Structure 1
C-alpha cells in the first residue's frame, strides 16, 4: 500500500485497494454526492428510501407533486407518487454516470425497486422492470427474491434488464437468484442477443436477518450468548460470497440493511458490493474502522457453532435450507415486505395531502 493510500479514510481506502465496491443506500442527491466523495460507485432506492427522501425535501417535492397533478389531471395518488420516485432515481442515476462509464457498466448503477404491490404477479414485475430499465442507461431494477420474483428476474434479465435482488436475507435465496441470472445470460447467448456487462447484484439484507433471528429467538424463549446474533447476517454474506466465487457466478453479492460496521468491515476484500446508509459511512470513517481484507476470514467457530444450533439460522445459512416456495413465507421476508407496502401507503397519503389538502 502506498503512502497516499494509507492516508485515505477507511471507505476510500477499501475502494482504492480492494475489489469491494461501495454503494450508497439512498438515492437522495445530496447524500449521494457526499458518498461519491467517499468512493461510492452506486446507489439504491426503495419505497422506504423514496418516502424518506421526499419528506425530507418538501421544498422540492411539494411543488413538484402539484405540478405533476396539474400536468396529469387523471392520475391518482399512486401514479403521482411513483412518478416522483422515478424522477428521484433518474436524478441520482445522472450523478453515477462517470462511474458507469469508467467501469464499463459493472458499477455506476442506480437501483430502483419495482412496486411491492406487484409481488404476486411475475408478468407485472417483468413489465415494470423493463419500463424502469429504460429510464436511464445505468438503471438496475430491484425485484423480490421470492419464487415468483426469481422467475420474473430470469425473464427480465433475459430481456436485457440489469437486476438487483431485494427482499433477500438468506444463502438459499441468493444462490437461487445467482443461478437464475446465469440461466438468463445463457438464454441470451443461445438466442444470439448482445453480450454486455449487466452489473447484476444479489442482495442479502444481513441486518434484517439479524433482526428476524432476534425476534424468532425471543418468540421461542431461546437465550443466546450476547452478541452472537449480530454475526448471523455476516455469516450468511460470507457463505454466499464463497459459493458465488466457487461457482463463477457473474453476479455479485450485495450487503445491505446495516446494523453494525461488521456488515462492512468483515466483507472488505471480496468482489462484492457493500451498500451502507450514508450515516453509517460517515461513522465508519469518523471512527477509523480498519479497511482490512477479511472476506475469507471465517466467522469464529464458537459463534458459528452456536448460530447453527438455531433451526431458523440453518434455514438461512444452508444452501438448501429453504426451497423457493418457502422464500416468501420466511419471517424476514414477510416483515420487510409489509414495511415496503406500508411505505407505498404512506407515499400515497403524502401525495393525497399535497393535492387534496384538508379544508
Structure 2
C-alpha cells in the first residue's frame, strides 16, 4: 500500500493535481513526528545550552518541527501564489492561554515560515485573539470547533479583524481562514450517549453520524448566510465498517455539496486507495443529504446535540467547557507531556555533551 500511494503522489507538491493543498499539525502529531525522527531531533537538542528552562527548550524543539514541516509545502505555496501550501501550526498551550499570550505565541509561529497558518482553539479567549491576529494580516485555522455557536463567534472575529485591518491599511488579500470542525469527535464524546440514556433514548452509531452531519449542514448554512471568506475544514474523519464488513465513510461521502476541505490521515488515504482498487471510489456528495425526520426529532431531545446544532446553543464562557473541547485539550496536554519526556530522556542519556548554541534555521521569506 505504501508503494502504491508513493506512486500516486507527485514528485513536487507544486505540480500536485491530487487535491493536496496543505498540511496540519498539533502537539500530538508533532510528538509522534519527533519520536519518529528521534536521532535528528536529539542532535538538535544537543545544540541548545543546558541552562535553558524546560519550557524554552520545548518551544524551540516545537518551532524547529514547524519549520521542518512547512518547508516541503513552500513550492506549492509559491507556485499557487499563496493560495495553497499552508501549514497549520497549532499553539501548543492554546486551550488555557489568555488572548494576549495567544496573540504573542501566534505571531511567533507565523514568523517561522511564510506559509504558516496559526491554529487557535475555539475558546472565548481564542476568538478575541483571532480578531487581533486577523487584523495583523495573519492566516487562521480555528480548531477545537464542535458547535454552530463557535463557528458564529469565529466568523464574527474574522469579520471584525478584517475591518480593523482595512482601517489600518493592513493587506489581507492573501490571508486564508479555515474553521476545523472536529466532526468525528462530536459524536464520539461519552457525554452525548450519557444524556441520551438519561432521556431514555437509544443512540446508535448511525444516529451519531446523522447528528454530526446535521451540525455540519447547520454550519454550512450559517457560512452561506454570512458570505464569509472562511472555509469549513472537516477533521477527525472516521471510517466505519457495517455488519457485512464493508467500509464506508459518511464524513466524506455525505458532505461536500457546499465547498468543504478535508484533513486526510494516512489511514484515510489507505481507505480511499482500497476503495479505488475495488472499483468503488469515494467522491464527496453533490447534493445535500436529507436528515431523517424521526432521527432529528430524537436528537433534538438531547441537550448535547442542541448545544452543537443551534446558533446560540452555547455562551462564549461555555465554549472551553464543552465535553469534546475538554477531551481535545487533554490530547494536547498528553502531546506536550510526551515532548517533555523526549527532551528529558535526551538530556539524561549517557554520553550527552551540550554543544554551542545556535538558533533554529528559518525558511527563506521569513514573515
TM above 0.5, yes or no, is yes
> How far 1:86 sits from its partner (Å)?
1.8
Moved more, 155-164 or 90-99: 90-99
Which residue number in structure 2 is paired with residue 287 of structure 1?
Answer: 275
| Gap runs ≥5 in structure 2 | 240-248, 352-367
**How do 1:109-258 and structure 2 match up within 5 A?**
109-116=86-93, 119-212=96-189, 214-218=190-194, 221=197, 222-258=201-237
**Structure 2 Cα separation of the partners of residues 194 and 37 of structure 1:** 29
1:265 maps onto 2:249 in alignment: no
Q: Which has the larger radius of gyration?
A: 2
**How do 1:332-343 and structure 2 match up within 5 A?**
332-343=324-335
1:60 maps onto 2:40 in alignment: yes
2:81 to 84, 94, 104: 104
SS in structure 1 of the partner of residue 175 of structure 2: coil
Q: Does structure 2 conserve the Cα–Cα contact (< 8 Å) formed by 1:254 and 1:272?
A: yes
**Structure 2 Cα separation of the partners of residues 100 and 63 of structure 1:** 29
| Gap runs ≥5 in structure 1 | 1-8, 13-29
**Structure 1 Cα separation of the partners of residues 37 and 92 of structure 2:** 22
1:40 maps onto 2:20 in alignment: yes
In the TM superposition, structure 1's runs of 4+ consecutive aligned residues that sit over 6 Å from their partners are none
> How far 1:220 sits from its partner (Å)?
5.7
Q: Does structure 2 conserve the Cα–Cα contact (< 8 Å) formed by 1:89 and 1:112?
A: yes
1:93 maps onto 2:81 in alignment: no
> How far 1:285 sits from its partner (Å)?
2.5
SS in structure 1 of the partner of residue 229 of structure 2: coil
Q: Does structure 1 conserve the Cα–Cα contact (< 8 Å) formed by 2:136 and 2:170?
A: no
**Structure 1 Cα separation of the partners of residues 184 and 329 of structure 2:** 15
TM-score (norm 1): 0.83
Taking only aligned residues, the RMSD between alpha carbons, in angstroms, comes to 2.5
**Structure 1 Cα separation of the partners of residues 216 and 46 of structure 2:** 43
> How far 1:139 sits from its partner (Å)?
0.5
Deviations 1:119-163 (A, max 9, x none): 231101001111111111110011110111110111111112211
TM-score (norm 2): 0.81
SS in structure 2 of the partner of residue 167 of structure 1: strand
Provide closer, same or farther for how the CA distance between residues 48 and 295 of structure 1 changes in structure 2, counting only shifts above 3 A. farther
Provide closer, same or farther for how the CA distance between residues 96 and 305 of structure 1 changes in structure 2, counting only shifts above 3 A. farther
Aligned length: 325
Moved more, 299-308 or 244-253: 299-308
Deviations 1:240-281 (A, max 9, x none): 122112210111111111223222222234323111212212
Deviations 1:61-111 (A, max 9, x none): 2222223xxx33322333223322222222222222233234432321101
SS in structure 2 of the partner of residue 216 of structure 1: helix
> How far 1:117 sits from its partner (Å)?
5.7
1:84 maps onto 2:61 in alignment: yes
